[in-house]
Structure 1
Amino acid sequence: MGNSISAQRNTNIGLIKWLTFLMFTMFAMTTDAVGVIIPEVMKQFDLSMTAAGLMHYAPMIAIALAGILLGFLADKLGRKKTIIIGLALFALNSYLFIIGNTFAFYLSLMVISGLAIGVFKTAALALIGDISNSTDEHTSTMNAVEGFFGVGAIIGPFIVSYLLTQGVDWKWLYVVAATLCVVLIVIALMVKYPDTKKTTEEPNNLKGTLKMMKDPYALGFSMGAFLYVAVECAIYVWMPTLIEGYQGDFEFVATYALSIFFILRASGRFLGAWLMAHFNWSLMLSVFSVLILVCFMGSVVGGINYAVILLPLSGLFMSVIYPTINSKGISCFPKAKHGSVAGVILFFTAAGAALGPLAMGAVSDAMGSDAKYGFILATVFAGILFLGTLINIIYNPAEKRLKELNESEY
């Protein structure tokens, strides 16, 4: 009987992991395809870059707001209910793309999709703690999850590009995502989720989430996430502009620079799952963050001839940073609070995705619309991120709390 129960639990854990992997793949298909969609929207509605850029900024802001305002739902309602609510809203909203044909309508749907992503993503992130047996396993699983996000980031732009070559509107990507979403809802309904261990009597509500923002661990890891995402977004938002018109020995690399970046980032995250299971996470963060800084500094100092190689290469080094920061930040809190802290970190993540590229664009415009100056700012972000990882490895402020929670929660 005991073996039967254990086998059933292992089967459920396996299904839950794949459900989580596919959720991240699905929503990455839509969020990371926006770079391909924006030029089409500009042509369709005769928009400026600033106006069309709302297709990126608006859902990022919506994800940030959902994370901070609704992240507690995963702790209050439970992981399963919150995931299904978020997925159902996302699916319904995505199907609506086929009935509209105005920019305002599309933008409204993008905002709603951001809110839905914020709801089910925080629940999925909280769920990782429930199915992990240690903080180290949590970090390893988080890297694998983000690896599937990286796969979705490759698939989404490919689907849009293929649809356009076939004369099919880009909005059918959302129909594909919605259909996959329905499949995920069916799987979620069938699977038994593990119970969340209740080790605190603090209420799960918005007030509790806002209070958590004052916690030095939540704030520290959130700022790390903000800086990392600001650096990462520099690549897929502004790198194509920086290397546009490049002529030299690496034209092939320049042509497929963004795809190379996404492929390296995705493959590196699966490698990161192994690295985090075998090496000290603080050391790995410092090593990879300094390599990112070297890539950005080399691109700025060496110019476009170096940038076409170094910026795509940085994807390999970026791969382990975000999932590790996210995992350790969440693991610094009891499992009953994982939804709330995931929402706090998601808020800073989405804020970095919106404000980082915006600041780079503003700096570049102020310096004569030269993208190089935006990348100088991104290099500063990368430098501050490395400094933070260096302070972390020297003082290791989270070690005691992670050790205590590893013993009490896992």
Structure 2
Amino acid sequence: MFMMFAMTSDSVGEIIKEVKIAFSVTNAQASLMHSLPMLGIALSGLFLGFLADKLGRKPTIIIGLAVFGIACYSFMIANDFVFIVSLMTLSGIAVGIFKTGALALIGDISTSTRQHTSTMNGAEAFFGVGAIIGPLLVAYLIHQGVAWQWLYVIAGGVCTLLIVVALLVRYPSYVRTHRSEAEQVSVKQSLALVKNPYAFGFSMGAFLYVAAESAIYVWMPSYLICDAMSVQATYECYSDGMARTLAIYSVTAFFVLRAAGRFVGIWMMSHFNWALVLMVFSGAIVLCFGFGLAGGKQVALYLFPLSGIFMSVIYPTFNSKGISCFPKHQHGSVAGVILFFTAAGAAAGPLIMGIVSDSMGGDAKYGFIVATGFASLLFIGLVYNYLKNPTQKRLTEIEASEYGANG
């Protein structure tokens, strides 16, 4: 599921290049193809995240997958900008439903908060794989003269297979043994979680991280084009063939490094202080963005994709530690809250960058300056988290009450 979602969501930068030409839209208008689906994820995560606790993980996942599949197959008849954006928004709502179910399920199958973090990194590693496959598939389709919309049709086929698998797989029975707590879950209680300092703290971290990360896969292809105002992608300004090839496949390079880092993250989070790792890696992201902007396209060509290594473990760890601060019968609801802020960051970040870039003549460089600001705020927050360690007591209590019986 994570891989399938990434195939579509992380291909948006490549798709935007085609849509801007086909429909003659501005940067801000094209960014709606990313921002509105993220808004759909945000709202469904916040208002429908409780379904994973109320109905159970399995029904929630199947409902979300079914809606996502319908949206994907509808792309076969999508040839209007408004209709395309509407379908992308519907797919976002569906993702918010099945992803909260999946995130809650990870808690059900984990036997400790440490294992929860490792498992979350493993799941997000498959997201990283999908993020590699998607842009490559879009590039191949376009090169073969096939419409990019077929990416969604392919994703719909994967979704259909996942529905069959979800129907056949036997799920853990945790929610059924805690039915009294699950029955009390509601939208009101989910909204109340926003005020909880643990949920809000990790949610804000997710917001800042995703706002910075989305700059790479949404706007890096536009930034690395030699002539920012050209209607066609040109890479003649790079000195040799290898540099031009990297410019063309920069998003893929970023996702390859991020996916590799997430598999390594499974090991790292089992052996090192998670707060220290996040602080160091977030600082490295700021350096990659800062030096990449200072050195221009020739330097950014290498440093922007390199940031993928340092981004790899941040979001899965935010998700895991944030969810682990709560009892299992609330995992779906708190996953929805974190997902709301995640998607809000993914929606607001590129939109703000697009607006700023348009106001400065259309150069995506100015959008990356905004992204560097987001990354810097994230680093400051993670320095505080490492020095003060505000979640240590809470995680210890949850470890004893929720996972103690399992080892």
TM-score by length of 2: 0.91
Residues 160-171 of structure 1: pairs in structure 2 closer than 5 A: 160-171=138-149
Give the aligned partner of residue 200 of structure 2: 219
Q: 1:44 to 1:306 in 2, by over 3 A?
A: closer
1:229-280 Cα distance to aligned partner (Å, 9 max, x none): 0110111122222222142364443332221111001111111011111111
Residues 125-274 of structure 1: pairs in structure 2 closer than 5 A: 125-196=103-174, 198=178, 201=181, 203-245=184-226, 246-248=237-239, 250-274=243-267
Q: 1:242 to 1:209 in 2, by over 3 A?
A: same
Aligned length: 388
More displaced stretch, 374-383 vs 239-248: 239-248
What is the SS of the residue equivalent to 1:212? helix
Give the aligned partner of residue 52 of structure 2: 74
Give 1:378 deviation, angstroms.
1.6
Output the amino acid matched with 1:41.
V
More displaced stretch, 353-362 vs 99-108: 99-108
Give the aligned partner of residue 35 of structure 1: 13
More displaced stretch, 291-300 vs 259-268: 291-300
- Structure 2 residue 286 is matched with structure 1 residue 296: no
What is the SS of the residue equivalent to 1:213? helix
Q: 1:367 to 1:108 in 2, by over 3 A?
A: closer
Give 1:38 deviation, angstroms.
2.2
Give the aligned partner of residue 8 of structure 1: none
1:45-104 Cα distance to aligned partner (Å, 9 max, x none): 343333333221111111111111100000000000100010111112211221343223
- Structure 2 residue 372 is matched with structure 1 residue 379: yes
Q: 1:99 to 1:240 in 2, by over 3 A?
A: closer
- Structure 2 residue 269 is matched with structure 1 residue 276: yes
1:14-49 Cα distance to aligned partner (Å, 9 max, x none): xxxxxxxxx000111111122222233333334333
Residues 51-62 of structure 1: pairs in structure 2 closer than 5 A: 51-62=29-40
**CA distance in structure 1 between the aligned counterparts of 2:59 and 2:126, rounded to whole angstroms:** 23
Give the aligned partner of residue 114 of structure 1: 92
Give 1:163 deviation, angstroms.
1.8
- Structure 2 residue 320 is matched with structure 1 residue 334: no
More displaced stretch, 72-81 vs 44-53: 44-53
Q: 1:101 to 1:375 in 2, by over 3 A?
A: closer
What is the SS of the residue equivalent to 2:239? coil
**CA distance in structure 2 between the aligned counterparts of 1:200 and 1:400, rounded to whole angstroms:** 27
CA RMSD of aligned residues (A): 1.7
Residues 75 and 340 of structure 1 are in contact (CA less than 8 Å); yes or no, is this contact kept in structure 2?
Answer: yes
Output the amino acid matched with 1:107.
V
Residues 45 and 336 of structure 2 are in contact (CA less than 8 Å); yes or no, is this contact kept in structure 1?
Answer: yes
Q: 1:177 to 1:244 in 2, by over 3 A?
A: same
More displaced stretch, 270-279 vs 296-305: 296-305
**CA distance in structure 2 between the aligned counterparts of 1:375 and 1:108, rounded to whole angstroms:** 27
Residues 31 and 350 of structure 2 are in contact (CA less than 8 Å); yes or no, is this contact kept in structure 1?
Answer: no
What is the SS of the residue equivalent to 2:174? coil
Residues 331 and 405 of structure 1 are in contact (CA less than 8 Å); yes or no, is this contact kept in structure 2?
Answer: yes
Q: 1:149 to 1:289 in 2, by over 3 A?
A: same
Give 1:297 deviation, angstroms.
1.7
Residues 142 and 324 of structure 1 are in contact (CA less than 8 Å); yes or no, is this contact kept in structure 2?
Answer: yes
What is the SS of the residue equivalent to 1:42? helix
Structure 2: stretches of 5+ with no match in the other structure: 227-236
